[in-house]
Amino acid sequence: MSPTSSLPPMPYRRMGRSGLRLSALSLGSWLTFHDQVDGAGVREMMALAFDHGVNFFDNAEAYAHGQSEVVMGRALRELGWNRLHYVVSSKFYWGLESGGPPVNGSNTLNRKYLLQAVDGSLRRLGLDFLDLVYCHRPDPNTPVEETVWAMHDLIARGKALYWGTSEWSAAEIRQAWELAERHHLHKPVVEQPQYNLFHRRRVEVEYRRLIDELGLGLTVWSPLASGLLTGKYRQGIPAGSRGSLPQAEFLREALLDQRRNRAVDELGDLAAELGCSSAQLAIAWAAARGGVSSVILGASSVQQLRHNLGALQVLQRLDAAMLARIESLTEPASDLAP
């Protein structure tokens, strides 16, 4: 695929029914910032993304135990961009405390934790406010009303502009939305789910009514299935890859799945027809799906990010017939049944 200097303009999409517009491709930091790339490398990656239209940079309190926010914040200060021109998110649930799970400090969405956690993220990022804050997982031990009020108050106090969820069930999202509607509070307007050719049912089936009826936006993560869809894991776990990281051990069984790697081989044949890589085709597929506001890219190097941004060229060329061919390789229709 051509170098990024010849990419088409970045599309911008409303985040659901909100007025906030996000770049169709965005840059995330999970398992990469601080762990695989740091300092000048982070700054260079963010500058490359921004120069090609990326305006959304995703983070979380728990990524690299807070250090992902630290290195992103340092890069933002050094780059000196106008604050109006970029969007930063963070996510809360896991906490940062070490030495065992502390009471009120991890695995919770209670009011005390949320109101303190956002201040920590703002300090690490060096920002006055976050554009988006997500509840990183549902919390069965905190009343949803308490969590909704706390997220509303984060916005009312100017700590954040919008809030949403990550990996919540459709029923949990609807409950939170309806409670906020009933009490005239700020509603959850975006969900951040995993979405790729091997993980489709939640977005395409479970969330469909939320997208249609509530206008829920989606900022999706892992469009390459943690690198599986690049084809790099067909012969095992390469040294230096995401799958080789100690903290990514939980991914290895899926990365080495023989059936999925055979499907990746066939995906490579389709990519060759379009003159692109499997990775670019998989990213473009995710960005082409209805309801997706932004596809969050992860990259461990400037070169990898530059290559993945090439998906913009592929996105312009995907038609319904090619989308159907791609999907037939990776997800049997029965797996998407309600």
* Amino acid, single-letter form, for residue 247: Q
For residue 238, give the 3-state DSSP assignment: coil
63 is catalytic: yes
Q: Write a three-state SS string for 10-24.
A: CCEEECCCCCCEEEC
Catalytic choice (63, 134, 195, 207) = 63
Residue 285 neighbours by CB distance under 10 Å: 26
Residue 298 corresponds to which tokens in the numbers above?
């992860």
For residue 27, give the 3-state DSSP assignment: strand
Distances (CA, A) of 97 to 106, 114, 117, 135, 142: 7, 14, 11, 18, 19
For residue 292, give the 3-state DSSP assignment: strand
3-state helix, strand, coil in the chain (%, to 5): 50, 15, 35
What is the per-residue burial (b if ≥16 Cβ within 10 Å, else e) of 239-263? eebbbebeebeebeeebbbeebbeb
Separation CA 32–CA 231 (nearest Å): 19
Q: What is the CA radius of gyration of the chain?
A: 19
Cα 127 → chain centroid: 20
Residues in the chain: 338
For the chain, helix (H) and strand (E) counts, in that order, are 13, 10
Cα 78 → chain centroid: 24
Residue 12 neighbours by CB distance under 10 Å: 15
* Amino acid, single-letter form, for residue 51: D
Q: Which residues are catalytic?
A: 63
